[in-house]
Amino acid sequence: MSEKKSTRVAYGEALVKLGQTNEKVVVLDADLAAATMTNGFAKAYPDRFIDCGIAEADMVDIAAGMSTMGLIPFCSTFAVFAGRCYDQIRNGVCYPHFNVKFGFSHAGVTLGEDGGSHQAVEDLALMRVLPGMTVLVPSDANETYKAVEAAAALNGPVYIRTARLPSIILDEQPFVIGKGNVLKDGTDAVIFTCGMMVEQCLEVVKMLAEKGIDCALVNMHSLKPFDEELVRFYAAKTGKVFSVEEHSIIGGLGDAVASAIAGHGCTCFKKIGIMDRFGQSGKPADLLAEYGLDAAHIAAQVLETLGK
């Protein structure tokens, strides 16, 4: 592990690098290039960048049309604005299975002071339910670089969720769409997590170890397709399963885990996430504590569930 970098910054860097080797890549933004970090691509390849203004629906329809010409469009805006263009994503891209990518940033409550109106806690649920949509949630810069490359190589719609807050850069891990990465093995319990929560959960497993609990930690950077085989393996191995996500407990990672283990004999399962609430304005660290998503609160919920 090394320095910190936000996944939104890594997303912008990855697009610039991808543009060097793939002339089919084009980038569209909705008047947020300085925030989504696509301004680097705009500077490097101005002829392949389109600022669509505050018109997300138009942006998606333009990208859909460009994809029919053999181009690989990446649409970028804030994750909360997925709702503004959901009809276009559904009917204009997913229904005909066009080759459009969505790099939506500033997701979750770690966005901070912008408040609940801008903190997307439902975007993964919206995207997971769309037929044919691949959903990726990288946890650090390295995973983001690989997610962008993998998205460009895949024929079909892809949603990449990135965040504003910098996160630690993990040691190199494989990145295979549809496969999770085991960050720590364990026998007493398992935590499945993704995105910004990976950093918190690395601390959680250390806290649990101090209590004598050997907890496995699995990074599920691919929410769809989902590594159900790996989930069921650790559910059978430990019998105590937890999901941790910076997203509503409805429709996100927790529900994907629940679907994977349903009917397979797991004795204990708890979803840890945002409990049917909107976000609010505050410092990212304070908001994580408020929503029970900092390491201390996550560990306390695990211990309580385990009866420790």
SS3 199: helix
Q: Residues 56, 122, 199, 245: which is the catalytic one?
A: 56
pLDDT tens for the chain, 308 residues long, are 558 999 999 999 999 999 999 999 999 999 999 999 999 999 999 999 999 999 999 999 999 999 999 999 999 999 999 999 999 999 999 999 999 999 999 999 999 999 999 999 999 999 999 999 999 999 999 999 999 999 999 999 999 999 999 999 999 999 999 999 999 999 999 999 999 999 999 999 999 999 999 999 999 999 999 999 999 999 999 999 999 999 999 999 999 999 999 988 877 999 999 999 999 999 999 999 999 999 999 999 999 999 98
Q: How far is CA 31 from the centre of its chain?
A: 22
Report how far residue 282's alpha carbon sits from residue 290's, in angstroms, rounded to the nearest whole number.
10
Residue 28, strand partner residues: 50, 75
Helix, strand or coil for residue 266?
Answer: coil
- Residues pairing with 188 in the sheet: none
Q: In this structure, which amino acid lies at residue 89?
A: I
Residue 2 confidence (pLDDT):
59
E-strand ranges in the chain read 4-5, 25-29, 49-51, 72-78, 101-105, 134-136, 158-161, 167-168, 181-184, 189-193, 215-219, 222-224, 240-248, 268-274
The pLDDT, as a whole number, for residue 1 is: 53
Residue 107 phi/psi, 5-degree rounding, is -85, 155
Are 207 and 295 in contact, with CB atoms under 8 Å apart? yes
Do 76 and 30 contact (CB within 8 A), yes or no? yes
In 214-275, which ranges are continuous DSSP H helix? 228-238, 253-261
Give start and end residues of each alpha helix (H) in 68-184. Answer: 86-87, 123-128, 141-153
Catalytic annotation present for 56:
yes
Q: What tokens does 69 get? A: 């010409």
Give the pair of three-digit tokens for residue 298. Answer: 């996550």
Helices (H), 183-227: 197-210
- pTM beyond cutoff 0.85: yes
